[in-house]
Structures are given as C-alpha cells and as structure tokens.
Structure 1
Amino acid sequence: MFGILHVVLPVFLVTGAGYAAVRTGVFAPSAVDGLMVFTQTFAIPCLLFRAIADLDLGAVFDPRLLLSFYTGAVTTFVLGILGARRIFGRRPGEAVAIGFCALFSNLVLIGLPIMERAYGVDALAPSFAIISIHAPFCYLLGITVMEFARADGRGLVDTGRAVIRAMFRNALMIGLALGFVVNLGGIPVPATLRVAVDMLAGASLPAALFGLGGILTRYVIRASLAEAGMIAALSLLVHPAIAWMLARQVFGLPEEFVRAAVLAAAMAPGVNTYVFASMYGRAQAQAASAVLLATGLSIVTVSFWLVVLGGVL
C-alpha cells in the first residue's frame, strides 16, 4: 500500500502546492493564467508532438484498446445525460453538459504523471494512443449531441463547422497532428529542434499540475453536490470498471494495455468540461463542482484501481 501512495501522493502534492500557493496569495491568479497558457499552448503540445512522432503506431493502435476505453466513455456520457434528465430534471442542453463531464477525463495533466510514476516512462505508449484521439472524439460527440439537444441548436452544417473550429483552435490538437505528420511521413527532426522540444516537454507536466491546483481555487462545490457526486461516480468508478472488464475479461489484452485503459478511464473530469459548459452557458456550476469534487476523490479511487491492476514499480 505504501508503494501505491508513493505513486499517487506526489502528483497530488504538486497540485495541492499550486492550490495552497494561490489560496495564500504567494502565487497570483494572473500568474496561474500565464502558467496555464505556457503549458497548454507550448509545453504540453511539445510533449504530445514528441510522443506521437516517436510512437510505434502499429504496435499501440489496437482497436481493442480504444474500444475498451471509449466504450466506457460513451456509456458514462449517456448515463450522465439520463441521470441529469431523469433524476435531477435538467433541461436537454444542461443534461448534455453534465454528461460531457463524465465523458472527458483528465488524461494528460494527471493521467500521464500517475501512469509514468506507477509503471515507468516506457509504459506510456498505449496511453498516448488513447490520448491521440481523446479530445477530437469527445468534442465531436459532445458538440454534436449538444447542438441537436438544445432548443437553439445549429443545423448540421453549422455544427460541423463548430467541431472543426474547436479542433483547429486547440494547441494540443495541433501538436498531435504535427506528430502524426512527422511519424507517418518519416520526416527527420533536426537535433537542435529536438533538444528544444525535449526541454519544453520536460517542463510540461510539473508546471501543468501546479497550475491545475491554482485553477481549482476558482471552483467551489455549491448546491450541485448531488450532481457532482453522480459525475464523480461515473468518472472514477463506472468508466474504469467498464474499461477493466472489456480490456481484461473480454479482449484479453496484454497487461500494459489493460493498465493504460483502466488508469486513463479512472481520471477525474478535466478542466475542459467547465470550458465546454461555459461555451454553451449550461450547467457551469455542476461542471465546476464535479471537477473539484472528483479531483479530490480521485486520490482514493486511483489508489484503488492501482491495487486492482497491481505490479506498481
């Protein structure tokens, strides 16, 4: 058990340090904004570019791996919408925003550091396969369902344009796309450029975790605690349980693929869920509460899933 805590706690301690630094006034909120712009626009795109450019695509892009993760993601998305509608009486657009919280996991900021600490840097390849289509898949699904669900939704053509705009304005997507271009095209990366990319990539995750803690100070758990609890249960328990069942019991995937699918699925909702809710002006309080509550609870639930998976370094 000490080994599990040794894996999980440092990740959340860095996040907690960012939270405490902002709460006590040592680190200004404006500095958090600058830090997150650096990580989201420059450092993490370099990390994703390097990972995809160097990835053995044939070895890790196993449809069964992707099915294990994304079947669970879609299931929790649907259950989140149904729960919001049937249990909490939310309007269609609000229900989709709540469902999106259960759909979009924080794979990069928390998932990658925990995976690396638990199983080593060589175990990250299957995780990058999942991450490479995560944002496009989730935004495509979320925006499409939202546009058809809300009363003031756009038509099919405008919806397609909204999806494309969301993709091409996202620096993470640009980093992934360039990585695929280099990988598939066999394009050599000059050594000097490679060193620069490595320097930015090396700074990405610690800085992003610290910044995430600062961002979490802006969220509060309001009267939407019950809905946030539902989202947390779907994200932290239901999604990884489905991924575990499919990856191990149904598909019999290699252990490194099982670990990647389950740990990715076990992550709390990412800050992008609040961005999505704000984009449509629906269920922002529920999204903010879910991000804060689920991130806190994930200290316990991620530890549980690491025990289930076993073999921690």
Structure 2
Amino acid sequence: MLAVFLKTLPFFGLIGLGWIAARTRVFPTEGAVWLTRFVFYFALSAMLFRFAAGLDLGALFDPRFVMAYLVGSALVWAIGMAVARWRGLRLREAAMEAHCTMTGNTGFLGVPMLVVLLGERAVGPVLMVLTIDMLVFSTLITIIMQAGRGGVASLAGIGRVLGGVVANPMILSMVAGLTVAASDLTLPAIADEFLVLLGAAATPGALFAIGASLAERSTQRPGPALWLSFAKLVLHPLAVGIAAFLIFGVPPFAAGVMVAAAALPVAGNVYMLSQYFGVAVQRVSGAILISTALSVLTVPPVIHWILQG
C-alpha cells in the first residue's frame, strides 16, 4: 500500500506545485487558462490519438462495461439530484450538483496517471469511461441547463453546445486514432516520434494546470462541497463497482480500471459548465478543490486493490 501511495505522490505533487506557483504569483493565474488550452488542444489530444491508434478494436467495446458504467453513474447522478431537490434547490442547480457527483477528471488526471500506474492494458477502459462521460452525461447536463432557460432560442443553444461536445478535441483525437487502428495503418516513424514528444507534455502540463486552476477555488460554506466530494470519491466508485462486478460481470481488470476512473476527483470542466450557465458556481468550485485534495488519500487504496488482483 505504501509503495502505491509513493507512486501516486509525484502526480499529486505536480498538482501541488501548480497550486503553489499560482498562489505565490510565480505563475500567473491567467497562465493556467493558456496552459490548459495547450494541453487540451495539443498535448493530451496527441496522447489520446496515439493511444487509440494502438488499440485492438475487437477488444475495446464491451457492452457489459458500457452498461455497468452507465447504470452505476446514473444511480449516483439520481442520488445527487434527489439530495439536491430535498434541500430545496431548483432543477438546474440540482442537475449541476448531480453532474458533480459522477463526472471525474478522467482526461487531465485519469489518462496520464492510470495508464502509467496500471499499464497499457488500462488505455481501452479509461478511454471508454472518458467517451461515455463526454457523450452521454455532458449531453444530459447541457440539455437540462438549456431547457431550463426555455424557448426556441434555448433549443438553438442546445444545438450549438452539443455541436461543441462532438467537436471536442479529445473526442476528435480518439475518433481519428480509432480510424487509424481500424484501417490497420502504421504511423510513419517520424509521425510517431512527433506524437510521443508532444504527448509527453500532457502529463506534467495537465497536472500543473489542475493545481494552478485550484488556486482560484474557494470553500465558503463547505457543507455542500463536502457532500459532493463524498459522493464523487466514495459513492461513485462503489456504485460502478457493484454494477461491474456483481450485476454485469465485467472482466476483473477492466472493472477495476472503471472503479479507479470513478474514484477520481470532480473534473474541472464541470466548473466551466457551471460558470458558463451561471449555476452553482461556488459549490462546484469547492467540490473540485476538496475532492482533489482528498483524492491524494482515496485514490491510492483503489490502485493498490487493482494491482493486487
């Protein structure tokens, strides 16, 4: 267990370094925005393309895996929604909190960390989780947010935002990579070396950017943020684990990777959504900060459990 904790520590250390750099103004907070853009559009996209291009498509899509993750995540989403409505929140606020409870930082934290710690076999399951989160649950929250505004204009807004989901660089890079894999093409050596070099910047860049962005987060009235962090770090991996192992019979390693992905802290793009729609911004910000800090202690036991088989 200690060995696994020590292996995860450098990843969280990079997040901490980014936080310190932004808090001390050595790294300007606006710099985090541009670093995030570089990682999002270039470095992480290169990494995802290269990973996807090397996958065995026949072994990638498993309906049991998809159903287990969908059912487990939807259950936690429903719990988050029910708790929020019980507290008297309006539909859009409740939906944003529900989105927090099951949307993990799979792109910026999960892809770099889980593939390094669990090996190349983890690539397929991690990419499946990332795809489901973006195509299903990001679409769901977008529709609810736009529908809450009402009117024809909101329907046009749904089309624009959903178009943005489909045009997401991570989605496009994975689709392009899978196309290469399906065609049995081999990337030229110079292209592969270029992607390796560019993709190598994804891990340190993404983790540093996460930390720098956390410097702007606050924890005023931390009660709701603590609940959302508990739901994300505990209820979400528990729910998908039960669905994967006990209900749908997902192969053990893939199920373990699914649980590890579900154990990741709240994703930063949830804050972008909340800010864009002006809904529950403070609570989402606090949940990202608290869940990321606590994940230093909660993620290593999950990784240890998977490595122990």
Q: TM-score, normalised by structure 1?
A: 0.91
The RMSD of aligned alpha carbons is 2.1
The equivalences for 1:131-210 within 5 A come to 131-148=130-147, 150-152=148-150, 157-158=155-156, 160-210=158-208
Identity %: 27
Residue type matched to 1:98 in 2? Answer: E
The CA distance in 1 between the partners of 2:135 and 2:250, in whole Å, is 25
Look up the match of 2:123: 124
Task: Give the drift of 1:153.
Answer: 5.9
Look up the match of 2:110: 111
Look up the match of 2:233: 236
Distance 1:170 1:218, change over 3 A: same
Distance 1:142 1:154, change over 3 A: farther
Residue type matched to 1:138 in 2? Answer: F
The CA distance in 1 between the partners of 2:69 and 2:82, in whole Å, is 20
Residue type matched to 1:208 in 2? Answer: A
Deviations along 1:205-261, one digit per CA (max 9) or x if unpaired, are 1111011100110111112x1211121111111110112112222333322112211
Look up the match of 1:270: 267
Tell whether the 8 Å contact from 1:139 to 1:163 is kept in structure 2 after alignment.
no
Deviations along 1:59-78, one digit per CA (max 9) or x if unpaired, are 12111112222222222222
Tell whether the 8 Å contact from 1:9 to 1:299 is kept in structure 2 after alignment.
yes
Task: Give the drift of 1:81.
Answer: 1.6
Deviations along 1:93-151, one digit per CA (max 9) or x if unpaired, are 11111111113111122223332343223433322232233312221111123333x25
Look up the match of 2:93: 94
Distance 1:51 1:134, change over 3 A: farther
Look up the match of 2:302: 305
Tell whether the 8 Å contact from 1:32 to 1:215 is kept in structure 2 after alignment.
yes
Partner secondary structure for residue 201 of structure 2: helix
Look up the match of 1:71: 71
The CA distance in 1 between the partners of 2:146 and 2:40, in whole Å, is 26
Moved over 4 A (4+): 153-157
Task: Give the drift of 1:16.
Answer: 0.3
Q: Which moved more, 1:261-270 or 1:114-123?
A: 114-123
Task: Give the drift of 1:157.
Answer: 4.9
Tell whether the 8 Å contact from 1:143 to 1:163 is kept in structure 2 after alignment.
yes
Partner secondary structure for residue 133 of structure 1: helix
Q: TM-score, normalised by structure 2?
A: 0.92
Tell whether the 8 Å contact from 1:222 to 1:289 is kept in structure 2 after alignment.
yes
Task: Give the drift of 1:86.
Answer: 0.7
Please state if 1:31 is matched with 2:28: no
Return 5+ residue gaps in structure 1 as ranges.
none
Please state if 1:261 is matched with 2:249: no
